[in-house]
Amino acid sequence: MKAIKETSYQLPGQTGFYKGKVRDVYQFPDKLVMVITDRISAFDVVLPRAIPFKGQVLNQIAALFLEKTKDIVPNWILSVPDPSVSIGIKCEPYKVEMVVRGYLAGHAWREYRSGKRSICGVPLPEGLKENDKLPQPIITPTTKASEGHDEDISKEDILIKGIVSEKEYKQLEYYTYALYQRGTELAAQQGLILVDTKYEFGKVGDTIYLIDEVHTPDSSRYFYKEGYTERQAQGVEQKQLSKEFVRQWLIQHGFQGKDGQVIPDMTDDVVESISNRYIELYEQVTGLPFEKPTEVNPEDRILKNILNAI
């Protein structure tokens, strides 16, 4: 299957185009047509090779969970005309990402292990181990960088710098905790633990919308529920579903996105294994079988479906 590395359509009525890390975004006066490509990023760097079916996995998971959370907060989606395409409301995005954590894992664990006992202004107790459940979920926001790395930021700094008003930030906090609670419940139905995730929000007028992807393996970390307690007691690694396996492969090959580091070569076998892991993620997270498209040229299918939808 040919991976969808990039698209370059000229759509009727199109007013702009933006190429993100993994998305090709076609702008219209009041809406966005978003092609979720098979590009893959880690440590805020786009890797050289695209991963077949990755974009479809992310798009279809996001569409499912946006549908399952629309009673909590309105979201940007208008239609999903293709496995790799979402069309939605054009919002003015908030310049922060709301990262919510229920467990000490990933970046938060690396910070804690280095000796920090406060992340984004949120204090953490002594004596925690990697992957321990936190006393209660915490929000550790990051700035939303247009280029380069997102940076940790505290609630206090967000308010002091006027990035988000206090009234709106309280609403974003409310939505974030409510969405994480719903995500936790949905994950439990699949025998999973939603460890941490991030949400992005935008607004049109006075209405706040949930935008971007939700509860996908690129924006979230999942553990398998079965055996979690035993593995923690034994001090062994948790069995997890997330993009962390890609990060760990890169770390093992000497790359963490730092200056001077060279991205390791990704062989066909590595690309195939990552693709298979994404399909596994889809089926585990949704409980649905993954259906591979059969078209030789997916770009032609995508264009046809977009034209029919707009």
**pLDDT single digits (tens) 86-124:** 999 999 999 999 999 999 998 999 999 999 999 999 999
| pLDDT the model gives residue 19 | 94
Is pLDDT of 300 > 60?
A: yes
| pLDDT the model gives residue 296 | 82
In the block, tokens 């996001």 appear at 62
Handedness of CA 191, 196, 202, 208 (dihedral sign): positive
Each residue's pLDDT tens digit, 49-61: 999 999 999 999 9
End-to-end CA distance of the chain: 27
Helix axis angle, 268-286 relative to 244-252, nearest 10°? 150
Each residue's pLDDT tens digit, 183-199: 999 999 999 999 999 99
Q: Could you tell me if 228 and 193 are in contact, meaning their C-beta atoms sit under 8 angstroms apart?
A: yes
Each residue's pLDDT tens digit, 58-73: 999 999 999 999 999 9
Res. 145 pLDDT band, cuts 50 70 90: low
Is pLDDT of 38 > 90?
A: yes
pLDDT above 70 as % of the chain:
98
Q: Could you tell me if 57 and 11 are in contact, meaning their C-beta atoms sit under 8 angstroms apart?
A: no
Q: What is the amino acid identity at position 61?
A: I
Q: What is the amino acid identity at position 95?
A: K
| pLDDT the model gives residue 82 | 97
Q: Could you tell me if 208 and 171 are in contact, meaning their C-beta atoms sit under 8 angstroms apart?
A: yes
Domains of the chain: 93-242 (3.30.470.20)
Q: Which two tokens mark 284?
A: 């585990």
Query: CB-based contacts of 229: which residues, under 8 Å, 6+ apart?
Result: none
| pLDDT the model gives residue 54 | 95
Each residue's pLDDT tens digit, 226-270: 999 999 999 999 988 878 788 889 999 999 988 899 999 999 999
Mean of per-residue pLDDT scores for the chain: 94
Helix axis angle, 268-286 relative to 54-69, nearest 10°? 20
Is pLDDT of 149 > 70?
A: no
Res. 218 pLDDT band, cuts 50 70 90: confident
